[in-house]
Structures are given as C-alpha cells and as structure tokens.
C-alpha cells in the first residue's frame, strides 16, 4: 500500500474508482489532468492510495474561492473493500495539512452519513444534509414558455464579465455554510470560465436587456455533467427562470448525446428542489455536510 501525492498515471484509476462508487460526483479525466499539471497553489492538493497498482483511495482539497473567513473543502473516497485499514485517516491528515498551510480556518466535506461518527474524532460536526439527484437529459420535459424580451443563450456566447457579475450575486446569496464575499475577476476567469471542467456550450443564461438575469453553469464533459450552480438574480425571482434555464441546458445536453446529468441541493432549499423534481431528477444519494475547525 502506498499513499502519496497523486500523479498523472493515477488518473484513469481515479476515474474508475469514482465511476464505480460515486458517479454523481462527476469527476472527469480532463479536470484531474489539469489539476495535476497546474502550478502549485495554496490549499490545493490531490492524494492517491495505491495498492498492487490499483487506485483504491483518492482525496482532493482546495480553498473555497471568495470565502471570508478563509475556508477549505475536501473530498475523500476509499474503495469499500479497503476501508478500515487507515487509508481514510492518512488521506484526511494530508488534506488538513494542505489547508492549514494555506491559513484556512475550517474544512468542509460532504460525506456518507455513516462516516459522521468517524469524522467526529477530528472535530467534524454535521450542519445539514445535501441530496444528489440524476436524470437522463433525454427525459427532460418540454421547454416552458420564454418571457417576452428574454433570450436563452449558451454561456459560450455570453460576455464572461456579465456572467461573472451574476455569479458574484449568486455566490453571496446561495444557501451554504461558507460565507462568500468576493472573488477577483481574473481568478474567476481562470478557475471557472477557462476551466476545462466547465461545459460552457451546455450551460445556459437568460439574458434580458443585455443583463444575465438567470443562469445554470455545468461542469463535466460530454459523457456526464454536474450542475454546479443555478441562480436567478434577486429582483427576477419567482418567475420560473431557474426552471427555464435548467430545462434548456438539459435539452442542449440531450442534443449533444450526454447520457447523464447530476445536481445537488441542501436540505431546506425548497425552491430548487421543486425545480429539479419538476424536471424529473431522481435522488441517488444523500451526504452529510461536515465542518471542522482547523
């Protein structure tokens, strides 16, 4: 057994691990390769547990952009038949060290509820639950009527600055544990707009009078997509725009031959849960949201 920083040669094994045990997390080879080849950045690390040449554990960590106080998040996945051997403990220790070195004050992880008691040993406490849901995009309902003056535009045809401004509003007002304040445009441009994980052509904005008033942003590739953020600007809420852009994005995914799309919502986010149920998403997993001071 070897537990170490991940290497490019681990990518295919990591994809196989996630696809077998947590496909709804939508981990893609292009995103992993880009992360492993990128210049070192504070708080960002990826670690692999390898046994007899097979990737049996994987962990990644990063800072939550725009958080104040500075917070980090991490993911850990260990193959079920290798649990109970200390792999998770070693991976968790490595991710905590990475976040502490970047001056993060807390760590957040979404984890199977059965691990909450184990995580409590390190100071984690559960704040809420998050529900994952999936859909075959071909089964999305017909597109609702588009309000007069509103245009549905794929994000690769939207001015990135206008999407950035809408995303800032969305990040500040979304439900969650991390307090998001601001994120520099250049950092957002590199981390979101130019990221190979972002599928701009399969993401959609509702534009009115030149302004992005609602949008849905997906990550993944043309085999699977994760709905990273769907938001409506506060003054335009209650008009069905979130349903509209998300439905439009699913139609684009279906036309592109994407067989699976996933999303997630916190407990209590009743409006978006209702949107996803109307779209036909079905629940595939529930995770506990765990927070730990560092």
Q: What is the pLDDT of residue 179?
A: 65
Q: What is the pLDDT of residue 191?
A: 87
| Cβ partners under 8 Å of residue 274, min gap 6 | none
Q: What is the pLDDT of residue 39?
A: 86
CA distances from 246 to 57, 64, 253, 287 (A): 33, 24, 11, 23
Q: Residue 158's closest CA among 99, 216, 76?
A: 216
Check: CB of residue 127 under 8 Å from CB of residue 111. no
Mean pLDDT in consecutive groups of 10 residues from the start of the chain, 294 residues:
96 97 93 89 96 97 91 96 96 97 96 91 95 97 96 97 95 71 88 91 97 97 93 95 98 97 93 96 96 96
Q: Show the domains of the chain with their CATH numbers.
A: 2-104 (3.40.630.30), 135-286 (3.40.630.30)
pTM of structure: 0.90
Q: What is the pLDDT of residue 178?
A: 61
Check: CB of residue 129 under 8 Å from CB of residue 285. no
Element (H, E) at 271: helix 270-279
Q: What is the DSSP string of 143-164?
A: PPPPPTTEEEEEGGGS-HHHHH
Q: Residue 281 gets which letter from DSSP?
A: -
Q: What is the pLDDT of residue 30?
A: 87
């Amino acid at each position: 057994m070897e537990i170490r920083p991940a290497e490019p040669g681990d990518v295919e094994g990591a994809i196989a691990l996630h696809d077998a045990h947590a496909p709804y997390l939508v981990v893609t080879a292009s995103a992993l390769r880009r992360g492993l080849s990128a210049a070192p950045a504070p708080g960002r690390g990826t670690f692999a547990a390898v046994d007899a040449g097979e990737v049996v554990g994987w962990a990644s960590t990063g800072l939550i952009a725009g958080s104040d106080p500075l917070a980090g998040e991490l993911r850990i996945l260990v193959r079920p038949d290798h649990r109970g051997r200390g792999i998770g403990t070693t991976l968790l220790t490595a991710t905590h060290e990475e976040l502490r070195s970047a001056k993060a004050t807390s760590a957040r992880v979404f984890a199977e509820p059965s691990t909450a008691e184990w995580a409590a040993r390190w100071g984690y406490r559960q704040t809420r639950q998050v529900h994952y849901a999936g859909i075959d995009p071909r089964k999305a309902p017909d597109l609702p009527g588009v309000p007069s003056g509103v245009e549905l535009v794929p994000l690769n045809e939207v001015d990135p600055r206008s999407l950035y401004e809408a995303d800032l509003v969305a990040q500040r007002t979304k439900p969650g544990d991390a307090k998001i304040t601001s994120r520099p445009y250049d950092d957002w441009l590199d981390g979101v707009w130019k990221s190979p994980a972002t599928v701009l052509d399969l993401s959609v904005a509702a534009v009115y009078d030149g302004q992005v008033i609602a949008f849905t942003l997906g990550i993944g590739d043309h085999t699977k997509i994760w709905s990273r953020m769907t938001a409506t600007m506060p003054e335009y809420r209650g008009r069905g725009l979130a349903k509209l852009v998300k439905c439009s994005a699913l139609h684009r995914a279906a036309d592109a031959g994407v067989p699976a799309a996933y999303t997630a919502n916190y407990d209590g986010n009743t409006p978006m849960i209702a949107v996803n149920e109307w779209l036909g998403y079905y629940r595939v997993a529930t995770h506990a949201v765990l927070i730990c001071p560092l």
